[in-house]
């Protein structure tokens, strides 16, 4: 069994647990997240993933719109294609499951995109919260719809130009 190093940090959306190995992030988990990997072999080390912690703090402060981290995303080829597409959704914007399906060359696979989105192991950094229903509605989010609303509102507030300067 491979040992993963992990640490938990506070954030505006609750505690976040980061885990990975060899300096590569494999998981970013929120409390009560629906998809929960086995934590067998996870060892707490509060010194790991300092770059990720700093970048997350800057994101929540509205000072960072993209993440520059080494990720190790384990999944099927289809899941990895979906997760790569998620990283192309610009900060403060949203797109639908169907748009992601078309982007990865699988039109009509919006439900499969939804499943892959739900199994995204590195939420926030791989921004699955930016995916919405075709009609513009907020749909499922592993971290809960309240967190999804919070993340989208945070990003929107940082991208909406001020009416008066």
The residues assigned a catalytic role are: 128
Provide DSSP, 57-78.
HHHHTT--SS----B---S-HH
Q: Is 16 exposed, middle or buried (0-12, 13-18, 19+ CB in 10 A)?
A: buried
Question: In degrees to the nearest 10, what's the CA dihedral of 119, 123, 128, 132?
Answer: 100
CA distance linking residue 51 with residue 149, whole number of Å: 26
Give me 139's structure tokens: 């749909």
């Amino acid at each position: 069994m491979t040992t993963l190093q992990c640490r938990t940090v506070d954030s505006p959306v609750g505690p976040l647990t980061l885990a990975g190995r060899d300096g590569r992030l494999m998981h970013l988990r929120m409390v009560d997240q629906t998809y929960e990997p086995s934590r067998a072999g996870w060892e707490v080390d509060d010194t790991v993933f300092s770059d990720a912690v700093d970048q997350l703090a800057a994101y929540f402060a509205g000072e960072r719109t993209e993440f520059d981290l080494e990720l190790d995303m384990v999944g099927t080829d289809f899941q990895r294609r979906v997760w790569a597409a998620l990283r192309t959704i610009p900060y403060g914007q949203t797109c639908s499951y169907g748009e992601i399906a078309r982007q990865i060359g699988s039109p009509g696979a919006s439900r499969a995109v939804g499943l892959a989105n739900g199994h995204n192991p590195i939420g926030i950094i791989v921004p699955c919260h930016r995916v919405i229903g075709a009609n513009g509605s907020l749909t499922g989010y592993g971290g809960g719809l309240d967190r999804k609303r919070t993340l989208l509102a945070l990003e929107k507030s940082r991208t909406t130009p001020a009416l008066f300067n």
